[in-house]
Each structure stands twice: as C-alpha cells, then as structure tokens.
Amino acid sequence: MPSYSYILRIEAIEPDDDRLDALADVVDDVVFASRAGLASVTLVVESVTSRAAGIDAVRAARAAGLVPLRTIPDLVDRREISERVGVTRQAVGNWARGDRQGTTDFPAPYAFVSGEIWLWHDVAAWLRESGVFDEDLETPDWSDLIATDRWIADDPDARAPSDRFASEPVATGDWDFASSGYTLSRDEAREVAGS
C-alpha cells in the first residue's frame, strides 16, 4: 500500500504537548514544526489513494486531540529540490529552463516568490518519469489538498476533536457527504470505511 506525506496546519501548541505523543502512537512518522505562529504536523499515512490518506491524516490528528485547520502544500524552490534529490542547484536550473530534461517539460512553477516555487508532488512526478528520482513516498496533488481542505471545512465536528473519528466512516454521522462536493472513488470509499 502506498505511503503519503500530508502536512496539516494545526492550532498553536507547544513542542512538548502530550497530544503530539498521542499522535505518534497512532501514526509512525510524525514531524512537528512551529514558526511565526504557524504550527504544523507532517504525517506519513499508508492508504489506497492520496485523498483517503488525507482524511486518515486528519482523523489521526483529531484522535490525538489536535485540531487540524487546513492542509499546507509542500512547496519547494530550486535549493530545496537540489537538496531532496542530491543534485546541484545548477542542475535544477537547467531542468527548469528546459536546457536538460527528460521526455516532458519540467512542471510550471506554482508561484514566483524571490524566484520560482513548485508543488513537490509535480516535481517528484517529473523526476520519477525522467529516471532521476525513485523515492516511493507520495505527496498530494492540488486536487487532493483542496478535497482534504473541503472535508475539514465542511465537517461540522472540525473544531471539536474526539476519539470517534478514529473509527467512523466518512459517509456517516452528521457530516453531509453528498452536498459537500467531495467525491471518493469506490476504492477510496472502501478504504476509508475500512471494508
């Protein structure tokens, strides 16, 4: 089963908060970060699909007593791409300019902030296709991030964490799944429901 890395913005907490230990008991790989008032947890979750993994990540955080506010996209610049892949920044620049690349164009940047920034999902997919990178850890694409954010926002219990999220299927309870606009494939629905 594939593993997916999701970054969730959570309410501000201290690094020694017991809820982080509770989260580590539920999810094997947890990294907490806090900077300038922005607290986040990065979770690695195994699931059939990225969207199901996003819901599982939110549920795990809630089961630990944390309040997920939204997802945080994994955005990277040339320096971070070079560090993750183990190549020089010049090599990344060559890929981005189209000087040296595989069979398809390097992904378009997401935005320009003192240079280009990209969604890691897009870059990693290009690197895999080009034979430069072979890491198995997946990250969500924009549609999966948006779908997870919509699920967080549309869930009436989003600000009231409890342990019931650990076992409750997505399509039950008070949350109006049908009108939320969130859709799951048949495999995703089975995975999330645990059947």
Mean pLDDT over each residue of the chain, to the nearest integer: 82
Give pLDDT tens digits for 139-148.
999 999 999 9
The pLDDT value given to residue 131: 83
- Cβ-contact 123, 81 below 8 angstroms: yes
The pLDDT value given to residue 110: 87
What are the percentages of helix, strand and coil residues in the chain, rounded to 5? 40, 20, 40
- Cβ-contact 169, 193 below 8 angstroms: yes
In this predicted structure, the answer to whether residue 181 has a pLDDT above a threshold of 80 is no
Q: How many CA atoms lie within 13 A of 39 on its CB side?
A: 15
Q: Is 123 left (phi over 0), alpha (psi -120 to 50) or beta?
A: alpha
pTM (2 d.p.): 0.76
Give pLDDT tens digits for 67-87.
999 999 999 999 999 999 999
Mean pLDDT (whole number) for 177-188: 47
Give the separation between CA 130 and CA 85, rounded to whole angstroms: 13
- The helix-helix angle for 89-97 and 78-85 (nearest 10°) equals 120
Burial of 58 (0-12, 13-18, 19+ CB in 10 A): buried
Domain boundaries, the chain: 3-73+139-193, 75-129
- Reported as a pLDDT band with limits 50, 70 and 90, residue 130 is confident
In this predicted structure, the answer to whether residue 160 has a pLDDT above a threshold of 50 is no
- Cβ-contact 119, 141 below 8 angstroms: yes
- Reported as a pLDDT band with limits 50, 70 and 90, residue 182 is very low
In this predicted structure, the answer to whether residue 51 has a pLDDT above a threshold of 60 is yes
- Reported as a pLDDT band with limits 50, 70 and 90, residue 170 is very low
Give pLDDT tens digits for 102-125.
667 899 888 888 889 999 999 999
Higher-scoring residue by pLDDT: 186, 79: 79
Rounded to the nearest 5°, which phi and psi values hold at 152?
-60, -45
In this predicted structure, the answer to whether residue 152 has a pLDDT above a threshold of 70 is yes
Higher-scoring residue by pLDDT: 194, 18: 18
The percentage of residues in the chain with a pLDDT greater than 90, rounded to a whole number, is 59
